[in-house]
Chains A and B, each alone.
Chain A
Amino acid sequence: MTSATSSTRKRGRFSWRRVPGYAFLSLFALFSIFPLFFMVVSATNTTKDVLASRLLPGTHLVENFRSLFGAQDVGAAMLSSALIAVGTTVLALAVCSVAGYGFEVYHSRGKDIVMAIIMLAMMIPFAAVMIPLFRLFADVGMVNSLFAVIIPAISTPLLILLFRQASRSFPHEIIEAARIDGLRELSIFIRIYAPTMKSTFAAAAVITFMTSWNNFLWPRVILLDNAVQTMPMLIANLTAGYVTDYGVLMLAVLLTSLPTIIVFLVLQRAFAQGITGAIK
């Protein structure tokens, strides 16, 4: 009955049938945005105002900045985090895209078996390899080295799978045409495949950058020196003192979150396309 009446109405006109959907979306959107709003607002307030649940922007931002930068080496932590995240993203994209392309374009039975084994690695929890990995990096003297954080994150089954699935929709005719034109195999990948798969690369970059920037457990294990600590490690230490200054804490949390939020907002359209392309 409702569908009959609504179909006679003009498109875009108000319909009661849509109210629960919009209400649910609004509630969930509020739930999603509120903690972020609280974080931003609290960064500008004193710890007293934060605990008094003040939800208006305050005037304490500069003081919070001053006490945060006075107590912690935020610059060094930002630099470590940035070096790790950018390094991991560049290397992971290079290694995993080539591998995913290789699995799909030079498809053979042997490679299928290797792919299945790689997929098994997805089931290995990081906790299960953490202790031997620490011993391995300690043996080669790489404790406190940023490379020790980067190397285990370069090759991930998820990224290889993403690139393999995306390569399925890449027309093989183009590759063959390029071969006839005399292009070498690697140049086909770099000059023809990579430029057309921008959205897949964007999706992979967003995923890798975020995971790497936000990674906490492994950097905590392998980076023992505070001089090379990452932003998540820095903010986790802020609560370790006697009294937590919530204004300063929320400012530090905001600074830690900004890079990943910006990366996501800039690349979000390509990210959604890349994920959809890989799942199709």
Chain B
Amino acid sequence: MATEAIVTGGKRRLRGSPRNPYQGRKRPWLHTQRRWNLTGWTFLIPAAALITLMSFVPMIQALFLSFQTGRGSRLTWADPFWLNFERMMGDEIFKLTVFNTFFYLIIQVPIMLVLAMILANLLNDPKLKFKAFWRTVIFLPCAVSLVSYSLVFRTLFATDGFVNDTFMALGLMDQPVNWLGGGWTARLVIIIGLLWRWTGYNMIFFLAALQNVDYSTLEAARVDGASSLKTFWFVTVPQLRPMIVLTAIMSINGTLQLFDESWSLTNGGPAYQSMSMSHYLYELSFLKNPNVGYGAAISYVILIMVAVLAFIQMKVGDKRD
């Protein structure tokens, strides 16, 4: 560690700022520093350029598109320019898809996050047996593609499928339920599917965050006689708050963009009753007689919803008590 003393000269530095190996001599040091700064920029330019080109530029283009109208590639400026947005207000199918998406969001995300937290907490117990087995099994659904699991659930919930057979064998039902043929049951199947696919994924994030929870605080609560439920709620959960915010934002973002399940599991049906916003957007923009201007307007509404919800989440999560 002899070089350490020579190089640092004993001064504290800002995180990340390099040390001056030239000691007293200022000019070559400034030169090297500038060179390093430039190196840093060249390191991140490819990533930044790609994100600009693939996310920010299209986002601005979509804004312009949302004020245009026409079929296929023949587009003209809408007159009045808010025409697409006006049409959206009267579009019953769009309203239904917004309702469906928010229904999934409000029912599924809280249940999933609570389940994920409980599972992570159970897995974090140092005395738990077969830890690797539980973790692998619960995470495994995340390795399956959305389309794949949607098709498996579609098979399980078919009218003559496994779920009906089992319920009838157990005497819980007299006749098979057409799960995917009714609006509410179709939505329910999508929610069960989402819970199956994503709970383990969020559990991994909570499990990682639990590594940072100070074990002595849990010990202290136990010594003070708090039940494990109370310890979990009053000691563990507050320390997980940043992770709750992160997983909530990721889940909200994901649910608002729901497409694969709506497409493969229920095909949006029956009659748009379980269709998600993204599915409707796809249908409008790329199928039959595409209207990309109207599609872009809808995509902007989705963008604003995501932004507003993320902002609220961050505000709520930032509150310290």
Contacts and interface: CB of A to CB of B under 8 A. Distances in A.
B211 interface: yes
Contact of A38 (B7, B156, B209, B299): B156
Contact of A99 (B47, B118, B139, B277): B47
A136 B54 CA distance: 10
Nearest to B298: A127
A172 B8 CA distance: 12
Nearest to B138: A32
Interface stretch (B32-40, B77-85, B88-96, B102-110): B32-40
Nearest to A181: B3
B280 to A, nearest CB: 10
Interface in B47-100: 47-48, 50-51, 54-59, 61-62, 65
Chain A's interface size range is: 35 or more
A257 B122 contact: no
Interface string A12-45: 1000011001001100110111011011001000
A142 interface: no
B160 interface: yes
Nearest to A222: B286
Given A32-B137, A256-B147, A129 B155 contact: no
A260 B145 contact: yes
Given A53-B161, A125-B303, A265-B136, A246 B155 contact: yes
A261 interface: yes
Given A216-B146, A260-B143, A261-B140, A272 B152 contact: no
Interface residues of B, number: 104
Contacts of A155: 46-48, 50-51, 54
A177 interface: yes
Interface string B136-168: 111111111111110111111010111001100
Interface string B298-309: 011011001100
A129 B144 contact: no
B263 interface: yes
B321 interface: no
Interface in A232-262: 232, 235-236, 238-239, 246, 249-250, 253, 256-257, 260-261
B62 A129 contact: yes
Contacts of B145: 213-214, 216, 231-232, 256-257, 260
Interface of A is mostly: helix
Contacts of B137: 29, 32-33
A105 B299 CA distance: 37
Contacts of A257: 143-145, 148
Contacts of B243: 279
Interface stretch (B10-18, B23-31, B182-190): B10-18
A210 interface: yes
A250 B155 contact: yes
B282 A217 contact: yes
A173 interface: yes
Contacts of A246: 155, 158
Contacts of B55: 121, 124, 129
B235 interface: no
Contact of B47 (A3, A11, A98, A128): A98
Nearest to B127: A11
B236 interface: no
Interface in B200-253: 200, 204-205, 207-209, 211-212, 222, 228, 243, 253
B231 to A, nearest CB: 11
Given A102-B43, A125-B257, A210 B50 contact: no
A270 interface: no
Nearest to B165: A53
A226 to B, nearest CB: 16
Contact of A132 (B19, B65, B144, B277): B65
Given A24-B118, A32-B200, A123-B307, A128 B147 contact: no
B282 A221 contact: yes
Given A21-B125, A36-B140, A272-B204, A132 B148 contact: no
Contact of B264 (A36, A52, A180, A239): A239
A250 B147 contact: no
24 contacts: A3-B222, A24-B118, A28-B115, A29-B138, A33-B137, A35-B152, A36-B152, A51-B161, A95-B47, A98-B44, A102-B41, A106-B37, A106-B39, A121-B51, A125-B299, A128-B62, A128-B300, A131-B299, A132-B59, A136-B58, A176-B19, A180-B7, A236-B151, A279-B209
Interface of B: 3-4, 7, 14-19, 21, 36-37, 39-44, 46-48, 50-51, 54-59, 61-62, 65, 115, 118-119, 122-123, 125, 127-128, 134-149, 151-156, 158, 160-162, 165-166, 196, 199-200, 204-205, 207-209, 211-212, 222, 228, 243, 253, 256-257, 259-260, 263-264, 277-278, 281-282, 285-286, 292, 295-296, 299-300, 302-303, 306-307, 310
Which A-B residue pairs are the 9 nearest by beta carbons? A106-B40, A107-B16, A102-B43, A214-B145, A99-B47, A155-B50, A132-B58, A129-B58, A132-B61
